[in-house]
């Protein structure tokens, strides 16, 4: 499928939109990055997803401070800056930015419905985006901080609000993820079931490390990446 790629301003938020050329309308996907923002690695994931017939909007998650316009390097300095960006951002700011981006996607003539996904911190943000009743499905890839409320400058109430999710939910973990170990995964699933979300689709990929879908570095697993992406596309299509 032929794609077009545009950098746009969604309010104050620098974003990249990857969309199919011709046809449509298509489901619109709000895709949240990891702490490193709009890297080429994440954009490659967005292009892959768009090629299945989705309009994918990838916003910066730190668009208001010193990291606005910055794609961080995958090194210790970049990691430190990304974590500092998260620690400086209140949960309410993340939530407000989500509304702006979903409103933008909903207004597009080539978008038929709203979906969300994300990686790492972006997986957590995708979970919170699912609180919006307009979101019909969410896929959260190895979301960090769900089990303990770690997200930004305050303690997030994400799991406590799980009962607000009305759309379909899929959560993907790697079995060797030190940020979301087995006990953290268990706590998350127990909370989802307690909230009444007993039809959640859960995938735990054996041997998968944190960020196994990021196609840079030793933790990348191409086979698991392909499996996870195929499952996500099938899920979004309502299999």
Does residue 203 carry a catalytic annotation? Answer: no
User: Is 13 in a helix, a strand, or coil?
Assistant: strand
DSSP state of 174: E
From 34, 132, 177, 221, active-site residue:
177
Q: Please, what is the end-to-end C-alpha distance for the chain in angstroms?
A: 21
Does residue 210 carry a catalytic annotation? Answer: yes
From 57, 120, 132, 147, active-site residue:
120
Whole-number Cα distances in Å, 131 to 1, 124, 165, 224: 32, 12, 5, 28
Structure tokens at 104: 């933008």
Structure tokens at 97: 């930015």
DSSP state of 133: T
Looking at the chain, how many residues does it have? Answer: 239
From 147, 179, 203, 210, active-site residue:
210
Structure tokens at 144: 């960090």
Does residue 120 carry a catalytic annotation? Answer: yes
Active-site positions read 120, 177, 210
């Amino acid at each position: 499928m032929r794609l077009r790629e545009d950098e746009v301003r969604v309010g104050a938020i620098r974003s990249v939109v990857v969309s199919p050329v011709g046809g449509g309308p298509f489901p619109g996907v709000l895709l949240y990055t990891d702490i490193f923002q709009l890297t080429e690695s994440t954009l490659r994931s967005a292009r892959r997803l768009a090629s299945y017939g989705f309009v994918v909007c990838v916003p910066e998650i730190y668009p208001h401070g010193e990291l606005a316009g910055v794609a961080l390097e995958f090194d210790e300095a970049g990691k430190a800056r990304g974590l500092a960006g998260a620690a400086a951002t209140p949960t309410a700011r993340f939530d407000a930015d989500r509304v702006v981006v979903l409103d933008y996607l909903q207004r597009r003539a080539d978008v038929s419905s709203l979906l969300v996904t994300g990686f790492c911190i972006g997986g957590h943000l995708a979970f919170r985006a699912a609180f919006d009743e307009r979101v019909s499905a969410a896929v959260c890839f190895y979301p960090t901080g769900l089990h303990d409320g770690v997200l930004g400058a305050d303690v997030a109430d994400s799991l406590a609000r799980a009962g607000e999710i009305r759309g379909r939910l899929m959560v993907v973990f790697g079995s060797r993820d030190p940020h979301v170990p087995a006990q953290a995964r268990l706590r998350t699933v127990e909370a989802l079931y307690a909230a009444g979300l007993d039809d959640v689709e859960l995938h735990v990929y054996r041997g998968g490390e944190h960020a196994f879908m990021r196609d840079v570095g030793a933790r990348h697993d191409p086979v698991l990446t392909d499996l996870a992406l195929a499952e996500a596309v099938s899920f979004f299509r309502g299999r």
